[in-house]
Structures are given as C-alpha cells and as structure tokens.
Structure 1
Amino acid sequence: MASNRPAPTAPFVPSQRQPEAYGYGGLRTDEGPWEEWNPTEESLAPVRGRHRVSKQRGGGLARSSTVLGVGVIAAVGAGGMASANTGKPPVSISLPDLPSSVDSLLGDGDGAGHQATQTALSSVTTATATDADSSSDAGEALRSRIIAQAEQQQTQIDVRATAKAVAAADKAVSDAEAKAEKAAATQAADAKEKAQAAEKAQAEQKRLAALAKQYTLPVVSYTITGTFGQAGSMWASGYHTGLDFAAPTGTLIKAVHSGTVTEAGWAGSYGYRTILTLDDGTELWFCHQSSIGVKVGQKVATGDVIGRVGATGNVTGPHLHLEVHPGGQATGIDPMTWLRGKGLNP
C-alpha cells in the first residue's frame, strides 16, 4: 500500500498539551517536559495500513498498547465464537499495522515483532478453526455411531417381533390343525359308533323279528290293567308280581313259546294255574283261568291253546295274570320287559 509522507508539525509545547483520548486525561509531571523532536523521512518507519501519523505525542506508547490489547481481545473473542459456532467456517481476523514504536518495543525495530504478533494471532485463529473442525468431525462421528446403534437396535427389535409373530402364527395354525384333526377324529368315531349302533339295532331287529315268529302274546284282544311292582294290600307280597291282561271270560290263552307243561291245576289265590317250562328253564305262570286245556308233561308249540281266561282265585274280575320266573326261581321278573326282549310289544 502507498504511504503518505508525514507533514511537519508545530513545536511541542507542554503547556498547550491536550487531553489524550486513551491516556490519563490530564498533564502528568512524570511525562515531561519533553524536548522538541522533529521527525524526518529517514527517522520514521514506513507507515502501513490506512493509518496516518499526524503527530507523535508523549502518550503514544500508552495509546498503542491499548490498541494492541483491544486487538488481541477482539482476536481471542472472535476465535472463541468461531470455536463455539462449529456450524460455520471460521472468520479471519486482520489487524491494522502498528506504529514503528510498538514494533520496536515488540521486536528489533524493523517490524519483526509486529510480524511475529500477526503470525501468532494467525496461528491462534488457524488452531481455533482446526479445533472447531476436529470438534465438528468428532461430533458428526458420534452422531453417526449413535444413529447406527439405534438403527441396529430397531432392526433387532423388528426381527424379534417378526419372529414372535411368525411363531404365534405357526402355533395358531398348528393348534387349528390339531383341533381340526381332533374334531375330524371325533366325528369319525361318532359316525363309526352311530354306524355300529345302527348295525346293532338292525341286527337286533332282525333277531327280534325271528324271535317274534317263535314267540307270541298269550291273548289277542286285551287291556293291560296291572303291571309288575305295583304296591297294594290285595297281594300277599305287598306288590303285584305279574302282568294282567284283562279280557272277557273264556278268551283263549295261547302258549307264548314252545315248551313242556310242568304243572296244571288249582293254586290257591292264583286260581287255576298252568306252568309252562321253556327249553332254557324259564317258567311261565298262567293264572286265574276259567279252564285248563293241557296236562302235565305235555309238549306244546308256540301259539297252542293251553286254557281260557277266567276269574278264579283272588281277583276282582276276569283277566290273565302272567308271571315269568327265569330258571324256575321263586321270585319272578317283569313280564313286560321279558316279552319285549322276545320281540313282542304288549
């Protein structure tokens, strides 16, 4: 940059000294009196920057020191702001050229100290920018690592959730299949049981149909007036021991099944009674007959007439009292059940 030659100044008069802008604001006895100094072109260092030296006053050292201090503070403050604001590039700081007097104090009088100061400040700025870049890179690396870890953890969570959902779905499918198989097996078993029951019922019907051809009811036209087990004082045992077929006197009585006549005659409260013993040893008692048509030892077939309905013995009216004694035992069973077991339905 171009430098202007300094203009001649008036002689310095202590009594006419003005207050300094950066000095003590008043005349001090330890600052003078000063001798008159007329600077020349050879005695002055070249002026750098935009500043022009119009006067060299006794308080110049204090003013220059203050300017240097303010510049250093500004540089440090700017560096600190650049370090804090890592999102923006560092701002370079330039200081104005210092007077030769300051250079002479800081260096060897040829501006080396001023250059050293500028170099030191530039180094501070560069170091601050480097630290800011390093801090920014470290923060970005930390941020990237945290994001990567978070993504990895989220991926693991998603994988576990997916695996759990798949396992639950598989279990649900397995349970549904097992339930369906169990239901199918149950249905098959029920169908089989029903089929077996139907076959058994059909076979029983066939058997009863065949037996019905071998067995017959003792009377054709009748009314059931007494069943097995009825309680009453009319019977010596206290309950009814047979099945009563009420019919008019003289109604024909037929052999229920083929067998042999083992008894035929009077039997007290039973009146006239005929006992027919079947081939399996079962005894059939036909009681209260008005007449007996067979003899002891006689063989009869199913449907043969063996007597007639009457009202003999302990009765209230004409009827046939039928008792069934399996194996010839004294206590009889329900004749209704026995007859239905033979395919007959009284």
Structure 2
Amino acid sequence: MHQLTASRRRLLLGAAAASAGALLTGCTSNDTGEGDGDRTAANDRPAADDKPGKRITIGYAGPQADHGWLNAVNDNARQRAEKYPDVTLEVTEGSNDTAQQIGQIETLINRQVDVLVVLPADGKALTRVGLKAMRAGIPVVNLDRVFNTPQAYRCWVGGDNYGMGLNAGHYIGERLKDKPNAKVVELAGLDNLELTKQRTQGFDDALKNYPNIKKVARQAAEFTVESGQAKMAQLLQAQQDFDALWNHDDDQGVGALRAVDQAGREDFLMVGGAGALSAFQAIKAGRGVLKATVLYPPTMAASAIDLARALGQGKGVSGLAEFEIPSSLTCYSAVVDKENVDQYMSTGFK
C-alpha cells in the first residue's frame, strides 16, 4: 500500500524501470533459441533482478476467463506473482461487463494498491478508470486490449495480431511457393473485433509476396469450439479443393479439426493461432492436417507482473541503455511447428 507522494507522481513520468529479464523472458517465451525439449516455462524463469525488495501490492483486473487463452493469462499472472515473496497480488473476479469491471478497479484504487495490471474487457470503455488510477498516482500496466490514450497507462504489454497473420501467411507461402495456382482459405475470428481485422490484414499482406497463391475463401467464426466446427464444415463443403488453411484461434481450431476429420479430408495443411496445448500435441504427433500454430503468448501476463513489480519498487533496468521501462512492449508471434514444438510445450494452455 502507499501514500500519494511527489516521488510517486514522478514515478509515473518514468523514474521506475524493470529488469531486462522481465522484458525478455516472460513476453518472449516464444523466442527461437536452441532447446532440448526440456526448456523451462516462462513462469519458472526468474527475472534478472529477482532479489527481494520493498513489499508491494499489485492489483490485477482481467475479464471473465471464458476462453482458454484468457484463463491462461489469469493463471500466468497469479503464478508469476507467487514467485516473488515481496509481492502481494489482489485479484478481482473477472468480468466481461464493463461497468462491473470499472467498479472492481475503482475498489483497487480505493485500497491504494501500489500498481495496477489491467486487461480490460473493453479498452475504450475502461479508459477513464485507467486515467483515474494514473491521476491517483498508481501506475497502470495495460495488458493486451489497449486503452484509448497513453495517458491511461504507464506501460502497455500485448500481442501482435498483425504479426500473427503475417507469420502465418509467410509460413504457408514458403510451403506453397513452388505450387502453381495454389489456393488457401481462412477461418477468422469475430469480425467485429479489431484484432480479427489485423490478423486478416497481416495474412493478406504476406500472401502478396507469393503471386502463385490465391485466397479463395474466408469464413468468420466466434472463437469457440462449436463455431469452429460449424464454420469449417461450411468451408469444406464450399471449397472442395484448396492447399492450406489458416485458422485464427486454436480453441475454435478444435472444432475445425473435428469438421475436417468428419469430412475425411487430409489434402491440405493447416496453421493455427494462439498456442494451445492441444495444438502443440497434435503438431508433435505429426498426424492430421495441423502442421503449425502462430503464438499469441499468454505469458505476456507474467511479463506484466514483472513490469508492475519493477514500477512499484523503482528498480533500474538491467541490459537496456534507458533508465525507464518502455512505454509499450509487443510480444513476437513465433511459428511453432514440429521442428521446435518441444521448446514451447510447457507454455501451451488448455
């Protein structure tokens, strides 16, 4: 807990910093370094400066965990905080109701937590409560869904939706570049979400590098197993001949694979998205159409806790020239296939 002081106000202007280990391990657990299949999970790797410091309280507010990825995000935050004996984590009950989540965050502000980590159900709708925290002298680490203004957070940590599509497109493109008149289809997520549009844009931009490849169909699903199965069945019925599929989300991919199996199709390759354990296991087994998945790592929540701790303790940066933590940190969307899946198995979410 804290009393609002001039030094705390200066903290929000950039006097605090995080360890490079926090920046370069939690969020980039999807690096491409060598591994022997026993690589330690991101949450089990300490930050560079993990020596106990001043005791602080971090408030964590996320949406309802109604999706495998969101549940993994919440778990990563809790597990990372448990690594630090000097951190107390106050977690709100997740909600997709913006008014309820605003109320939960205001409760944390009133309790005078030292730092806030917020994954808003709706970034635009929750911007005002981020501003309220910052004005109260509580630095905010904005996780994934960004607030409308940088004034509402000290640091943003999130994934690269455009990069997901870009890397999926290049992976497919390199495998089809020598095939004349190659055809691909896309199973997207919710079309009313900006992240879905970004993933599609990245995919389309990547395919521009391969003039022999044409996207012949796109179907939007809803990030659920049921929608993935239904929409994939429609795609398979409408498109009797194609060479590759990019599916935006591994949860809906479970349903998509059911539809593929029911149709008896195995004449194309499939690339998933996010990094579910079931996808990793299928890739490792090497049976079926799923050959790779593009990460949207839930370990970003562990990095957010690292950054929040550093902000609360005013620790310096190790390994970076700047005195302050960055204002934003974008996680890389690595492609995981049979060649490197063992390195990432421990990060897969259920």
TM range (shorter): under 0.3
Under a length normalisation based on structure 1, what TM-score does the superposition of the two structures give?
0.17
Q: Which has the higher contact order (CA 8 A, sep 6+)?
A: 2
Q: Indicate the structure (1 or 2) with the bigger Cα radius of gyration.
A: 1
Under a length normalisation based on structure 2, what TM-score does the superposition of the two structures give?
0.17
